[in-house]
Each structure stands twice: as structure tokens, then as C-alpha cells.
Structure 1
Amino acid sequence: MKKSLIPGVILGLLAASLTPIAPTAFIASAYAATTPVTISTTNTSYVVGSQLHITGSSPAGKDITFKMVDSTGYVIHVDAIYGKDNNGQYSFDFTLPSNKTGTMTIIAGYGGASGEFALKNITVNNPSSNETGGSRGGGGGGGVYIPPTTSQPTDNSAGTVNLTAAIKESLSNGVVTVTFDSSKLTELMSSSATSASKVLVLDVKETGNTVKTELTTQVLSLLASKNEDVVLQVQTSIGAYNLPIKQLDVASIAREQGVSASDVKIAISMDKLQADKAAAVNSTASKQGWQVLSVPVDFTVSIVASDGTSKPINSFTRYVERSIPVQSTVNAKTATGVMYNEANGTFSPVPTLFTGVNATLFRKGNSIYTIIDNPKTFSDISGHWAKNDIELLASKLIVNGIENDKFAPDNNITRAEFAALLVRSLAVEEVKATGFTDVTAANWFSGAVGAAKAAQLIAGFEDGTFQPNAKITREQMVTMIIRAFQFAGKEVSSDSTVINKFTDRADISDWSKDAVAKSIAAGVIQGMTDTTFAPHENATRAQATLMLERMLQYLQFINK
């Protein structure tokens, strides 16, 4: 069992947690001792990205701190586990970084004095390269990046091509600038392997507080030469960004800037927030009672003119993935990614998938993102059939209680309330509502209804109203959800005959029959019974929560 905080008394092991420490040879001599603490690993040689299983023992009643450093003394991981719960026996699993090779030293123990810790060396190799050592330390802190594995191909047979050999990196004042060598890129893109490529990968070796990748119009043309739907995946120690090249209409953007397309370039930046900016994010999150699990990162994509002026590209027509490392393996049920709004100091949830110590966030725009942990429950859901579903989406900041400690799961939900939940689930920014005679700027739901309309999640009624305070029906709710699938780029196919099993199918409105059939096929909703659908029955807050959870899981926007 892991501890949420590292014990402060283990000073000897943690003295170098935040700064590079002595090389392995020095560590061994400094800590050499006969010790009651033991360390065992399944093997002594591993490959990058594989699972490391560590076991051992220490005096009963002692907690164990685990640390791993590379051959330069750079701290790769620090964590704490309970040893005293198992008569001094401990066990720990850790996914090795994908970007670290060479000799690694494991240090485990309960103190820094002689006999209170143990050491074990392992070797980590990368079978796909000739690198047998080296480090990327010296500026990245203790975090490591593990490329996303949830939605992207990982080998050439699945359509991935590595273009790292075609890039040049330079480091100045903590900023890593990545540019392309056009001749090398042309050579790589001419390979037959790129003809079916879906993802073009750049693995940036240098570390800094900012990584900026520059793409000229010539480079963009080369990247899209074999497949215009290709995604450029930039992997760094700060995080990763998956940019669909098709999203960049450089010619149109250049026209808006009043310059020639040949005079501009695209810059993808990942900026690890420092000092006051990072403190503002962390302080605001702490005031909400959340635990911050990652360094805040500002992701931007900008068009840069020849004179150096730049303009951010803040919205895309499809969801864009970006990934950031977290401090340790997280509880995917209570953790979530959030976007931070610097202008008003607020947070909003972002669809997030967790894989090991990597979090992948999905949104149609850029901003500052971080990961929080927010376990949440309510006093009135104990024993309720939707307890786990409510706690899940409340922890992810999607559903709120009617009071801090009350959720009212069996209360009906209104059309405006459900629109607000849907917009929040999809990370759609609120905009002023227009076009409805019964929604004004003074209404609390104006922004959510405006966003839902702009995203084509709602349409309203023929008389020009939205009827925000009306209780939402089951068929209205699934119609909105199917439109949400379309907004997210996910088409659902179904056989319309699936509704024939319902004896009340004639009561299903013609405008909702297709959505009802698709929602059943997607597993978002079921009948009220095996033979009835009850299309006009009002939905409860608990039912709405469950449908949103199923929607997010179907879209692969949260873990199952």
C-alpha cells in the first residue's frame, strides 16, 4: 500500500530528491552498510517502459521510502509505501521511463543512517536504439514522460513513424527550440513506411522549462505529403502534444494576419509554469481542497510571422490530445485533468485518461492544464444504486451537489441543468446564449445553454424557446447525448429495429427514434424494463449522471 505523502523523517534518503546527487559509484560507497533492509527484483536487466516489481523487508513497524536514480545521480522517482502493515514486508510496482537507459540504482529504507537502507543496481536498455546509457536529467525535476498508449499506435505496423532523426535541438535559458532539417525530413518522408502512417513522432531529448517546436510551411507540406490526416506527436520531458496537421489551415491563418503563407511558421509550445504562475495555480487548487498531482503546463499553438510576432490558435474542429506526467500512479476514479483560466483564477474539468504515471487530456483548444485529486461523496447517497457513479463524476468536477454535502440523486433534472452537465463533460467553453426567447444573459445557465447551442447539442423548440426549467425527458436526454457523440467526432451505427422490443415504441417521438436506437447500441441507456422505454418519463439526477458516465467511457474520455 502506498502513502500519499513521503515521511519527513527519512532525511537521509530524501536529501537529494530535488537536485542531482552523486553518481552511482559514490552512492554505493557512501551508503555501504550491512543492513536489515533488503531489496529484490525479478531481474537485473530490463527494457525501457517495462514493469519493475520490487519486494523486500525491513524491521517491522517501519515505513519504507523508495527512490530510483540514474548513473548521474538524477532522481527518476521517489515514493513511499507502508512496510509496517505487513510485518516489515513491502512490495512496489513501477513502470520504467521510456526515455531513460543505463545503470539505475534503487535505494529503499526507513532512514539515512548505516543499516537503515539497501541498494540494488539494475540495467535498463532500449532494444530499438543503440543507446546503452546516458541521461536526460538536469532540469526536468523528478517527473518522467511515458508516451500515451491509450489511443495512439505504438509501432510502424500500426502507422507510426519516428522522425526524431530529422530534428535539431538547441537549449538556451531553459528554452528548448526544435527545428527540422528539411533534407533529412524529405528523406524520411519518402520512405514507403510513411505511406500509411497515422502518427509521426518526435522524441525531444533536451530538457528545459519550455519546449518549442517550429514548423515551416515547407515542413507542414512534407508532413502531410503522404496522408493529410496524419498526427504529429511531440514527446518531451514536460509532456506530449498530438497535433492533427489537417487542423492547420496555414493559408487562411496567414490571410487573416495579412501576410504570405511562406512568411509564417507554426510553433507548438509546452511551457512548465514556474515561480509565481505555478504558485497561483497550486494555491487556488489547494483552496478548493484538491491535491495537485502534476506541474501545471501551458500548451500553445501559434502562428509566427517573419517579424517574430505571434498569434495563438485557440480552437480546433476536433479534440486534440496532450499528455503530462503525474507524480505517481493515480487513482483514476478520483483524479482528473483541469484547465486553469488565468483571467479569473478558475478551473474547469477536461476529459482525461490515465495510464500509469501519464495523463492524457482531450480538448478542442489550448490553455494551462494540471492534474488534481478530488475524492468526493455526499451524505445522501449511501446505499443508493448510483453511489459509485455520482462519486466518480463529482470527483471529476462534472456533477455538483445541491448543497456541499447533499446530492439529491432522485430529484428530477431540468433541461438547462443537463445542458450544463453535458457542456462541462465535453470541456466546451461557455458563451452567451442567443436565439432563445426564454434564455437571457441574467440566467445562471445562459453560458451553458449558449455553449450547447453553439456546439449543436441542442436546438430548442419550434416556437423559439428552450424551456430551460422544464424537466428533461429520457428521449430528450439521449438525443443530446448522441449529438455530443457527433461533436466529439464519434459516429454510432445501429439498427433502428432495436426499439421494436419496446411495447411503448409508438410513444417514442419520430425526431428521437434514431437517437434512442443509437444510445441503446452505445450502451448509454436501456429500457425502464425489458419491454418498455418510457420516452416521456422525466429523468433523475442519478440517471443523468449514469448516462454521462457511459457517454464519457464510450468516447474514451475517462477510464472504465
Structure 2
Amino acid sequence: MSKSNFRSYIKPGTIFVALVFLLNIVLFTNVQISLAGSNDFPDLSIQETVYAQQSVIDAVYEGEPQTFTLSGTILGTTESDIVEIMLSTVNGEVVVTQTLAKEQSEYTISGVPAGEYKLCVHVNGATSAIEFVRVDGHMTVPDIELVPVRGTLAGLSEGVSAFVYFVPENKNGMVMPLTVLSNGNETEFVHILSPGNYHMIVKAEGYEDFVSPDTITVNEDEMVLDPVEMVIELKLLTSTLPTGSENKAYFVELQATGGKEPFTWSISNGSLPRNLTLDNSSGVISGTPYSRGDYTFEVTVTDSYGHTDSRNFNISVARRSSGGDSSSNISSSGSSSTGTDTTFSDPELQEVINNAEETVTLVAPAGITSLTITWEQYNLLMESGKDIVILIQGVQIVLDPTVINLPDDARLNFKVEEITEDTAANLVSDTDYQLIGKIFDISIEVSNADPQGEYPQKQSVRLSLPVESAFWLDNSHYRFDVFYYNEELSQWEPMQAVHDPNNQVLTFDTPHLSKYAVLQRPVKEFLDINGHWGQEDIEKMAAQGIVGGYDDQSFKPDKNITRAEFTAFLTRLMGIDGNVNIKFTDVAEKDWHYKSIGNAYKAQIVGGYEDGSFKPNQYITREQVAAVISNALDYAGINPEGNDVAWETFSDARSISPWAKQSVAMASEMGIVRGVPSNDGRFIFAPAKYATRAEAAVMLNRLTDIYESAKLNF
């Protein structure tokens, strides 16, 4: 071969490759020599060096992969939307993300190697479209058209974040949800989607997942979805069940919270003790077990939307002992005894009386609105000297048998009837109240040979109305009260019911029986308390109708409170309302505070001055507040064992007036009145300091808790 032919045969690229190869041999030999003369490097480093050299050779021979450009257009978004393009491999590895500028609808992605990809469009953080593309050259993706899908979320508390997912059919991959912040009412949202079929899922912490029962088909036009009602997570609250005794009546009501009523209860695994049954609608386990042993079973509660919660329970049935509990109860099957028209047989009633120490509880079966006892049975109850508790449709009636004058051969019929929904709606339609639950018409009637009529009641009876568990969880029950419907005036009147969170009922005493309902007072919003240290107490007292504001929607929390204002607040809290006749020289019958001052004076909670005045517009001092609160506790029959020297804990104790020291000690000991920090870091009582409206609301809220607890235990 000639010299000239050799040069033409060897291409320039071949020469370059050969030179690079020789250079690597030289470098590699030098590295080996260098490493051979040193023990500072392990053999692994040598291997890594070899691999690094090999990758250089591979790069020389193989070259860089060919890449392409992807472009397209997004249609249907607005200037306020944030649009993001995400390109990922089919295995989910993100290749590139790109956020479009405002008013930009076109996108371009460069440097994309050949292969199959998933192209996702996210609008406002949520997945709007998923397209699968195969890249084998420069290409323009077909236009992606998006349309707004509007929806509404209801049932969420204010500030709760919900996550709305639209999962496309037949397209695998992770879907990013739209985040919706609830406003506490019906919260609207807009999800931008490409046409197609979707499954909608809504999630929120503490709530049951909503899953659309049907496929949602998005077309090319804007669409509006049906409202979605979110419900609090269904939970079976009851954790343990009481022990039973053979041949002794057993009754327990399972409790659940959240979900959507009505609930359905079932035994999903295992079995109850023989002769005990679970009522599917009320969750009551009742009966008289007659076989000793341990029984394990699973109870499932299901709400009307199909959400479920289950829990395992155990009931141990022991040999019956001679002792008894402080209360005993009996649940009727609804059948009548032979020859009589009673709910319970005489032997059944006598047994439950014998087993009870203090209270006999008679329970009407689910769906039954009345419960009847005969004159003979009534005498048995009266002779026992024990209180009677009647439980019908969740409403509890507590009375002393001696308050009823029952004629011979008469029957006593307790009734709790639900008012129809239409009638209930009409009764509250002209008010600012919201009906919570049912309106109950409660009556106790006497029947014998004479025409039936209401019983001659000697004193008040105690009633308890149930409130759904969900309201106790989020503490929204503080705006509730039981109201009595005054038929003569056609108006609802508050009963100042006590809130019993343990039993989830509102309890009150009443001298008359009629229609009763749990109503929610409207929210009272004040424009000047947001962020104030007393905001929570002010809102709670305002919701209960105890404190009020001004016409300009302000509360003026830091304004000094007058004697008339504090007296009015206190009489509302105590539920003192009656006819009065007072003769203070500066309080006229036309004054707004006349009745409250009169009632408080009549109850010996407040007093006047030696000159015959009350000074209603004079500011009230902190020690005067303590004295008035102490008088209110005495009026309510609350006499704690106060520490007479508790007032000495304040660094300014010597400045407390002698007549106020015992009141300050009592109010301070009970946590109603507290000190204020001084400049030297110690706490002072500041007895002569005028109390502010915020301080008054806080102290009255503390008094409310003590007052209600005392009323429950009375």
C-alpha cells in the first residue's frame, strides 16, 4: 500500500480515537505505578478509577443520545390560575417541570430523549389533565382543553382543609388534589379539568372520606356538581360494657359520634349472652341474661351513608349477688301483662325496685312513645322512697313519686311524642333560632274512669333532652339551650338548661310540661374583640344570651362596666326572672335595667346605698364584683369550704375592704376572680380598680361552669 493511499484510508476521526486511547493507557499506567508505591489507598479506589476510565471510553465511542422538542397549548385557564407542566417517565420519574407565566398558554420542552412519557397539567396545584405521549422526533402535542367544574362542600368546620381528588378512569398515576379551605358554611370550589370520566374523592382530617357513587363525566362545557356533605368521622365511643348478673335485668346504650344519622347497629362477629338483644336502631343492649360466662363479640355501627366503625366487646355474666347498685333499670318489650294495660308486669317492677338503691329507671323500647304504670305499681314506687327515671325516645324524666297525687285505680301515662317536621319548621320559622334535633311534646297524664287529664303536679320535674355527639366534640353546644313553647304567647322561652357533656344532654327543671326543643342561638359577632384576650369567653357568654353589645356591633371589652350592666348579666346567667317592685330613687320602671336590678335585689344578690339610691350607672369595682358573685353563690345554694385567708395571697391584700375580704377569698378560691400581674412580677387583686366588660364576661363564664355543675348534682 502506498503512502498516499494509507493517508486516505485512515479517517481523521479514527486518528482522534487512537490518540485518546493511547493517552488513557499512559494515564492508567501512571495511576497504577503511583498506587503501587503507596498503601494509603484501598483496592476499591483503584477499581473505581478503572471504571471511571472505562466510562470515558464509552462516551467517546457511543456519543450523546439524540433529544427532541415537545410543544403544545393549554386552553381554558384564566389569568389568576397557576399552570404547571410536568413531564415524567411512565415509571413516574420526573423529567422536567415548567410553570407558565401569566397569560401564557403555550409551552415548549427541549432536550427530551426518545421514549414514552406522561404529560401532566396542574392548575392551582391540582391535576387537571394527564396525557400519554410517545416521543420519537420533534412533535406538537394536541391542544389540551380545560373546563371549570364547580362544586360545594358542606359540613366542614371553619378553617378545615379539604382535599378534592378527581381520578381519571383508565389512566394510572398519582393525582394531585385541589386544596379547599372551609369557611364553616357551604364552601365553593372550582376544579379545572380536561373532558373525560372521573371518580371524585374528598378527604379531610377528622371526617369520613366522600367517594362519588357514580362516575362524573366532564364534557366541553362548564359543569356544576351536586353539593357534597362531609360528615365527621364515625366513631363508636363506648369502650367497655358493664358486667351482668344472671337473672337480672341488663341495659346499656351504646354511643357513637360523627357520621350521618340514623345509625344502624349490628353484631358483626361473635354473639351476645343468651336472652340479650341489640336494638338495631337505638344501639341498646337489653334483656335478662340467665347463663353465666364470658361473651366476646364485635359491634358495628353504620351510618346512613354506609360509613362504619367496629369495636370488640366483652360481657361477663356472673352469679347474681345479694347486693345492688345505686340505680337499677328495666327495659320493656312493649307487651302488656295479663288483665292489665301496663308496660311492665308487677313482678318485673318489684324486682327492679329491690335491686335499686336510689333510683329506679324505666325504659320504653325503641319506637314506643309512652310508658304506663298502674296505681298499684305507683304505690310500690312511692313506698320505696326512690326516685323514678323515665326514659322515652332519649328524653329523660326524673321525678320524686311524692310529687304526683294519683287517685285510686288510676294509671299514670308518660308520653314523649315527636312533633312532625312540618309543624316543627313552622314553630321556629319566625325566630332567629335553629332547631337542633326534634321538638318533643312531653306530658304526664292520669287516666281512670273519669276523663283523662294532666296530672296535678306539686313541684318541678327534671327533664333531659339529648344532643348529638358531634356537637360535644367541637364544643359548639355552648350556643344551645332548651326552649319551652309558650302556647298563649306563641313564643319560645329559654329554660337555662345545664350542659352535661358526660351524658351529652341538656338538663333543666320545669314546673310545667309542654313542647320542648333544643335550639341554637344565632352567632353574635362583635367587631372589636378579634384577638382580644377575653374573646373566647365573650363569644361564649354572648352566644348564651348572657352578655350583649352595642348597636354599632361593638362590645367595648376594655370599657368599665356599670353596676346595672353587671347586674343584668348576672341575673340572665342565674335565670332569675319574676315580677318586681323596687323603690330606688334612681331606678325607674321605664329603665332597661329595672327588672334585672329588681330581681337581683329581691334575691339579696345586690343592695343599694343608704340614701336610697342604687347608682346604676356607676362603675363597679373588682371587690364589689367579688361580693356580688359571692351573694349569687349563696342564692344558688353553693357553699364551698372557702379559705378565709385566701385573699392574703395577693400582695395588695391589705387594701381590700374588710366587708369584701370573705367574698374575695371565696371567689378567688373557686377560681372565679383572679389577680392581675403588677410591675414587680407579683399578683395583686386591685380591689378598687373598676372591672372591665371583658373581665366581667370572663368571670361570669367561670361562674357558669361552677353553677351548672352544682345544678347537675343537686
Aligning the two structures, in what range does the TM-score lie when normalised by the shorter sequence? 0.5 to 0.7
What is the TM-score of this pair, normalised by structure 1? 0.63
Pick from 351, 357, 381 the counterpart of residue 223 of structure 1.
Answer: 381
Report 1:520-539 matches (<5 A): 520-529=668-677, 530-539=682-691
Pick from 394, 409, 428 the counterpart of residue 282 of structure 1.
Answer: 428
Q: In structure 2, what is the equivalent of residue 308 of structure 1?
A: 452
Secondary structure in structure 1 of the residue aligned to 2:645: helix
- 2:537 equivalent to 1:389: yes
- 2:643 equivalent to 1:479: no
Moved more, 519-528 or 448-457: 448-457
Q: In structure 1, what is the equivalent of residue 230 of structure 2?
A: 81
Compared with structure 1, are the counterparts of its residues 526 and 325 closer, same or farther at alpha carbon in structure 2 (3 Å cutoff)? Answer: closer
Contact between 1:381 and 1:409, CA under 8 Å: does it hold in 2?
yes
Q: In structure 2, what is the equivalent of residue 240 of structure 1?
A: 396
Compared with structure 1, are the counterparts of its residues 238 and 186 closer, same or farther at alpha carbon in structure 2 (3 Å cutoff)? Answer: closer
Q: In structure 2, what is the equivalent of residue 426 of structure 1?
A: 574
Q: In structure 1, what is the equivalent of residue 328 of structure 2?
A: 161
Q: In structure 2, what is the equivalent of residue 291 of structure 1?
A: 434
Residue by residue over 1:210-266, the C-alpha shift from the partner in whole angstroms, topping out at 9 and shown as x without a partner, is 5365685x656643555x5x54322221522233x18x545xxx6xxxxx9768887
Compared with structure 1, are the counterparts of its residues 265 and 499 closer, same or farther at alpha carbon in structure 2 (3 Å cutoff)? Answer: farther
Pick from 532, 536, 545 the counterpart of residue 697 of structure 2.
Answer: 545
Q: In structure 1, what is the equivalent of residue 122 of structure 2?
A: none
Cα distance between partner residues in 2 of 1:225 and 1:167? 25
- 2:497 equivalent to 1:351: yes
**Unaligned stretches of 5+ in structure 1?**
6-34, 39-52, 64-78, 83-89, 109-118, 143-155, 171-176, 255-259
**Unaligned stretches of 5+ in structure 2?**
1-152, 157-197, 217-227, 240-250, 283-303, 305-322
Residue by residue over 1:273-301, the C-alpha shift from the partner in whole angstroms, topping out at 9 and shown as x without a partner, is 3366523432134xx2x432221224456
Report 1:265-280 matches (<5 A): 268-274=414-420, 277-280=423-426
Contact between 2:331 and 2:364, CA under 8 Å: does it hold in 1?
yes
Contact between 1:524 and 1:550, CA under 8 Å: does it hold in 2?
yes
Cα distance between partner residues in 2 of 1:364 and 1:292? 20
The one-letter amino acid of 1:223's match is L
The one-letter amino acid of 2:363's match is D
Q: Kindly state the Cα deviation for residue 336 of structure 1 after the two structures are TM-superposed.
A: 1.1
Cα distance between partner residues in 2 of 1:463 and 1:518? 29
Contact between 1:433 and 1:440, CA under 8 Å: does it hold in 2?
no
Contact between 1:337 and 1:370, CA under 8 Å: does it hold in 2?
yes
The one-letter amino acid of 1:544's match is A
Compared with structure 1, are the counterparts of its residues 328 and 92 closer, same or farther at alpha carbon in structure 2 (3 Å cutoff)? Answer: same
Compared with structure 1, are the counterparts of its residues 120 and 276 closer, same or farther at alpha carbon in structure 2 (3 Å cutoff)? Answer: closer
Q: Kindly state the Cα deviation for residue 444 of structure 1 after the two structures are TM-superposed.
A: 1.9
Secondary structure in structure 2 of the residue aligned to 1:293: strand
The one-letter amino acid of 1:308's match is Q
The one-letter amino acid of 1:538's match is Y
Q: Kindly state the Cα deviation for residue 386 of structure 1 after the two structures are TM-superposed.
A: 0.3
RMSD (Å) for aligned C-alpha atoms: 4.8
The one-letter amino acid of 1:501's match is T
Contact between 2:361 and 2:388, CA under 8 Å: does it hold in 1?
yes
The one-letter amino acid of 2:480's match is T
Contact between 1:238 and 1:272, CA under 8 Å: does it hold in 2?
no
Q: Kindly state the Cα deviation for residue 392 of structure 1 after the two structures are TM-superposed.
A: 1.5
The one-letter amino acid of 1:159's match is S
The one-letter amino acid of 2:605's match is L
Q: Kindly state the Cα deviation for residue 121 of structure 1 after the two structures are TM-superposed.
A: 7.2
Q: Kindly state the Cα deviation for residue 340 of structure 1 after the two structures are TM-superposed.
A: 3.8
Cα distance between partner residues in 2 of 1:381 and 1:99? 45
Secondary structure in structure 2 of the residue aligned to 1:405: coil
The one-letter amino acid of 1:194's match is A
Q: Between Structure 1 and Structure 2, how many residues are aligned? A: 436
Report 1:404-483 matches (<5 A): 405-434=553-582, 436-461=584-609, 464-483=612-631
Cα distance between partner residues in 2 of 1:60 and 1:166? 39
Secondary structure in structure 2 of the residue aligned to 1:294: strand
Q: In structure 2, what is the equivalent of residue 500 of structure 1?
A: 648
Cα distance between partner residues in 2 of 1:315 and 1:441? 31
Contact between 1:179 and 1:213, CA under 8 Å: does it hold in 2?
yes
What is the TM-score of this pair, normalised by structure 2? 0.51
Report 1:16-415 matches (<5 A): 58=211, 80-81=229-230, 91-93=233-235, 95=237, 123=268, 130-135=275-280, 159-164=326-331, 181-182=345-346, 184-189=348-353, 191=354, 193-195=355-357, 197=358, 199-207=359-367, 210-211=369-370, 216=375, 222-223=380-381, 225=383, 228=385, 230-243=386-399, 245=400, 248-250=402-404, 268-274=414-420, 277-285=423-431, 288=432, 290-300=433-443, 308-310=452-454, 313=457, 316=460, 320-326=462-468, 328-329=470-471, 331-333=474-476, 335-342=479-486, 343-348=489-494, 350-353=496-499, 355=501, 358-366=504-512, 368-372=516-520, 374-403=522-551, 405-415=553-563
Q: Kindly state the Cα deviation for residue 204 of structure 1 after the two structures are TM-superposed.
A: 0.9
Secondary structure in structure 1 of the residue aligned to 2:538: helix
The one-letter amino acid of 1:348's match is P
Residue by residue over 1:46-102, the C-alpha shift from the partner in whole angstroms, topping out at 9 and shown as x without a partner, is xxxxxxx99667479999xxxxxxxxxxxxxxx9427xxxxxxx953355899789x
Cα distance between partner residues in 1 of 2:374 and 2:421? 29
User: Which structure has greater strand proportion?
Assistant: 2
Cα distance between partner residues in 2 of 1:511 and 1:62? 76
Residue by residue over 1:487-542, the C-alpha shift from the partner in whole angstroms, topping out at 9 and shown as x without a partner, is 44433111101112234434434443322211111111112344432233322111
Contact between 2:374 and 2:410, CA under 8 Å: does it hold in 1?
no
Q: Kindly state the Cα deviation for residue 544 of structure 1 after the two structures are TM-superposed.
A: 1.0
Residue by residue over 1:328-366, the C-alpha shift from the partner in whole angstroms, topping out at 9 and shown as x without a partner, is 545424531142443152443623426489432334545
Contact between 2:266 and 2:278, CA under 8 Å: does it hold in 1?
no
Moved more, 397-406 or 338-347: 338-347
Q: Kindly state the Cα deviation for residue 545 of structure 1 after the two structures are TM-superposed.
A: 0.7
The one-letter amino acid of 1:207's match is G
Q: Bigger relative contact order, structure 1 or 2, given CA contacts below 8 A and separation 6+?
A: 1
Compared with structure 1, are the counterparts of its residues 355 and 3 closer, same or farther at alpha carbon in structure 2 (3 Å cutoff)? Answer: farther
Q: In structure 2, what is the equivalent of residue 4 of structure 1?
A: 155
* Larger Rg belongs to: 2
Cα distance between partner residues in 1 of 2:446 and 2:577? 22
The one-letter amino acid of 1:185's match is L
Compared with structure 1, are the counterparts of its residues 401 and 293 closer, same or farther at alpha carbon in structure 2 (3 Å cutoff)? Answer: same
Q: Kindly state the Cα deviation for residue 162 of structure 1 after the two structures are TM-superposed.
A: 1.1
Q: Kindly state the Cα deviation for residue 423 of structure 1 after the two structures are TM-superposed.
A: 2.3
Cα distance between partner residues in 2 of 1:434 and 1:126? 68
